[in-house]
Amino acid sequence: MSRRRARAGYFGPASGGGAAIALDDVEISILRSLAVQLLELIGPGDQPAGAEEDPLAQLFAEGPTKPPEDPALARLFPDAYEETADASEFRRYTENDLRARKREDALAMIRVLDRGGPVLELTAEEARQWLGGLNDLRLTLGTRLEVTEEDSDELYRLADSDPRKPLVMAYLWLGGLQESLVETLLG
């Protein structure tokens, strides 16, 4: 039996170390749309030549050596070091795996959302993937909105006529979801 304590809009514990949340159809639709847009932003990933025939080819695939030009992608795939040869080498060998993980996190969100509601129950692994996906969505929206620590209080006071208002509302909502998921998993 599940220890599910899902409240509307907040994660609660579920059996097996997972989490549960009650979402209405509109919330499910918004989250799904955002996750699909994140997948489109990250891209399909490059399949190295011969990867279908040789699974080891994927292990030795080399990725890009320069940061992405899109600011949101640059935020999702930052340099590990200052702009040096080390940064290029690190990116070359890690970005493909990082992209694959971020794609899998977004796909896990979509799969759970496609199961329908009103209560979505996540396994422990799905909860971990949702945590990554929610974080990536917030980073992307925050970058698009040019959110900084200094103006975070201003986000709560935007005029309804401000064209950024819908994205800001989504950004703040995702933050609440992320926070309640963290609390659930740590609780």
Predicted confidence (pLDDT) per residue in 83-136, tens digit? 677 778 888 888 889 999 999 999 999 999 999 878 999 999 999 999 999 999
What is the distance, to the nearest Å, from the Cα of residue 75 to the centroid of all Cα atoms in its chain? 12
Please compute the mean of the pLDDT values over residues 55-66 and round it to a whole number: 66
pLDDT band, residue 65 (cuts 50/70/90):
confident
Contacts of 69 (CB under 8 A, 6+ apart): none
Predicted confidence (pLDDT) per residue in 135-151, tens digit? 999 999 999 999 887 77
Please compute the mean of the pLDDT values over residues 6-32 and round it to a whole number: 91
Q: Give the Cα separation of 102 and 179 in Å (integer).
A: 19
Q: Identify the CA nearest to 19 among candidates 34, 5, 35, 1.
A: 5
Q: What is the pLDDT of residue 4?
A: 45
Which three-class secondary structure string do you get for 34-55? HHHHHHHHHCCCCCCCCCCCCH
Q: What is the pTM of this model?
A: 0.85
pLDDT band, residue 1 (cuts 50/70/90):
very low
Q: What is the pLDDT of residue 56?
A: 62
